[in-house]
Amino acid sequence: MSPEEIATRKVGDAVHLRFAHLGEVFRERAVRLRQLAAGHAMRDYLVFVADVSDAQHHVLNAPRSVGLPTQEFLGEAARQGLSALAFPRWALNHEWQQDLQELLAQLKPRAQGPVLGVIESLQQHSRDDLQLQADRLLSGIMLGL
């Protein structure tokens, strides 16, 4: 679409969206990473990232309720020429922390050494501290992370 077409379309006029198949999103990546790991110099890292993909697959396929922006919110962003879902305009919802804790729980049984230490540290952080860290990352502030 041209910039003019994008600017003149109405909120809610979505072009055809192709949604991912939830059962495949991270599962295929995990399989591919494990294939690449065989005999690779970075085997341990690739297996770890495959484990992360498996954990993401598990979390993505769990029942969830995600808040979506209203038509008014999207319309206001469009009128202002702003990205509706960019931070801080569209703030993080608390679901991300539940997903993080589930990811960590999935990864912990296979984790060792420093990775296990990081997982345990993240599991002990307060909700407020995790939110502060996320806000800093999304704002491009790396100092103090």
User: Are 1 and 55 in a shared domain?
Assistant: yes
User: Are 57 and 1 in a shared domain?
Assistant: yes
**Model pLDDT, residue 14:** 63
- In the chain, the N- to C-terminal Cα span, in Å, equals 40
**Model pLDDT, residue 69:** 86
User: Are 49 and 105 in a shared domain?
Assistant: no
Give the dihedral of Cα atoms 83, 84, 87, 88; nearest 10 deg: 120
The two three-digit tokens of residue 45, written as one number: 């890292």
- Which residue type occupies 112? Q
Assigned domain for 6 exists: yes
Assigned domain for 87 exists: no
Assigned domain for 84 exists: no
User: Are 56 and 102 in a shared domain?
Assistant: no
Assigned domain for 70 exists: no
Q: Which parts of the chain register pLDDT below 70?
A: 1, 3, 6-7, 9-17
Give the residue from 40, 61, 82 where a domain finishes: 61
* Beta carbons of 119 and 108 less than 8 angstroms apart: yes
Instruction: For residue 109, say if its preceding peptide bond is cis, omega within 30 degrees of 0.
Output: no
Query: DSSP character for 108?
Result: G
User: Are 8 and 47 in a shared domain?
Assistant: yes
User: Are 97 and 56 in a shared domain?
Assistant: no
User: Are 1 and 50 in a shared domain?
Assistant: yes
Assigned domain for 138 exists: yes
Give the residue from 61, 83, 103 where a domain finishes: 61
Give the residue from 61, 77, 100 where a domain finishes: 61
State the total domains in the chain: 2
- Which residue type occupies 70? T
**Model pLDDT, residue 118:** 96
Widest CA span of the chain, in angstroms?
55
**Model pLDDT, residue 81:** 86
Domain residue limits at 50: 1-61
Assigned domain for 67 exists: no
**Model pLDDT, residue 11:** 65
Assigned domain for 26 exists: yes
